[in-house]
Amino acid sequence: QVQLVESGGGSVRAGDSLRLSCAASGRTMSGRPITDAPMGWFRQAPGKEREFVGGINWSGGNTRYADSVKGRFTISRDNVNNILFLQMNALKPEDTAVYYCALNIGNVISITPTTYAYWGQGTQVTVSS
């Protein structure tokens, strides 16, 4: 079974930076290695739906971002140590949310939460003005 554990959240001021990490372990129910699957970061603010932040393919050579974070956030992965990262720069109060990492069961980066079968427990990011 896949386990995803996020870390790195916290409370910062607008303009600050944070780096989130997601430690991945295990195998999917189909036996697929986690290093073979696309992964993504999502976030959910109070009273709002979970939204796509960024995604990365299995090799790290292809990434995709939500327009709201493009140019400020960078997603990357370390397939040796099975860690997914989200570098967040120039943070804004509207970035405040619980951030989740997720493993996709398909073969391409997807912005749709239902295509991700495995989720971490989330880490809180709070940005004050």
pLDDT for residue 30: 83
**Dist. CA 99–CA 96, nearest whole Å:** 9
Question: Cα dist. 51→26, 67, 128 in Å?
Answer: 25, 11, 20
pLDDT for residue 45: 97
Q: How confident is the model at residue 65 (pLDDT cuts 50, 70, 90)?
A: very high
Kindly report, residue by residue over 88-125, the tens digit of the pLDDT: 999 999 999 999 999 998 889 999 999 999 999 999 99
Kindly report, residue by residue over 116-126, the tens digit of the pLDDT: 999 999 999 99
The answer to whether residue 34 scores a pLDDT higher than 90 is no
Beta bridge partners of 18: 88
